[in-house]
Amino acid sequence: MVLSDADFRSVSSMMHISIFMGVRCLWTKNHELKTLHANNINTAVTRIQDEFEQGAQVVIIDARNTNFGLREAEEIYDRAVGSYGGSLPGSVQIWTNSGVFRG
């Protein structure tokens, strides 16, 4: 969700706003952000599974501290989908230095 300047200033205390790649992002308590610090695909898949098990509707993996690109992000997503039998209980974003993968 992209916010106007007016919306940006009037966000309730339940929400958090951050700026990623120049775009304002709206966060609610159903969004979970996990940061990866190592090039480990298994860790990313586990983080996605853990957050969905805790009730997240959107899981965001910040992989900008790794060497992952969009190809690795797609692999992470595909493996997470496979662990749920083909359908995730929410959506996933994986932030890499080469772009954002959304699934």
For the chain, domains (ranges, CATH) are 29-102 (3.40.1350.120)
- Distance, C-alpha 31 to centroid of its chain: 8
pTM of the model: 0.74
* pLDDT tens, residue order, the chain (103 aa): 444 444 444 443 334 444 444 444 545 568 788 889 999 999 999 999 999 998 888 899 999 999 999 999 999 999 999 999 999 999 999 999 998 999 8
Reported as a single tens digit per residue, the pLDDT across 36-65 is: 999 999 999 999 999 999 888 889 999 999
At residue 85, φ and ψ (nearest 5 deg) are 75, 20
Task: Write phi, then psi, for 55 (nearest 5 degrees).
Answer: 100, 10
The residue whose two tokens read 């940006």 is: 8
Please name which of 16, 90, 81, 22 lies closest in space to residue 60, comparing C-alpha atoms: 90
